[in-house]
Amino acid sequence: MTTDPNNLPQHTQKLLTYATPQQLRKSVHRALFAYLMEQDQTGIDKDYKEIVENLYFLLDFLERLESETTKT
């Protein structure tokens, strides 16, 4: 798999053959909350801010993707 942005639609389509945007979003939510609970118990990871921001942007992307796929 390449990281070329021009291939994003192709990679997104492939990903959606495994799960819907809603399923992916729910999984990311669960992973985020598990991570937050772990950080509360073990102390804040040095990459905490970056990880939470990345997950926020991923959730936003999945939400937009979900709304686009429900339009068609």
Chunked in runs of 10, what are the mean pLDDT values of the chain (72 residues)? Answer: 70 87 93 90 88 92 87 68
pLDDT of residue 22: 92
Contacts 24+ apart (CB under 8 A), 29-34: 29/59, 31/55, 32/59
pTM of this structure: 0.75
Neighbours of 1 (CB within 10 A): 7
DSSP 5: G
pLDDT of residue 7: 74
Distance CA 56, CA 54 (A): 5
What are the angstrom distances between the C-alpha of 48 and each of 10, 22, 40, 42, 71? Answer: 31, 25, 11, 12, 35
Domain ranges (residues) in the chain: 19-71
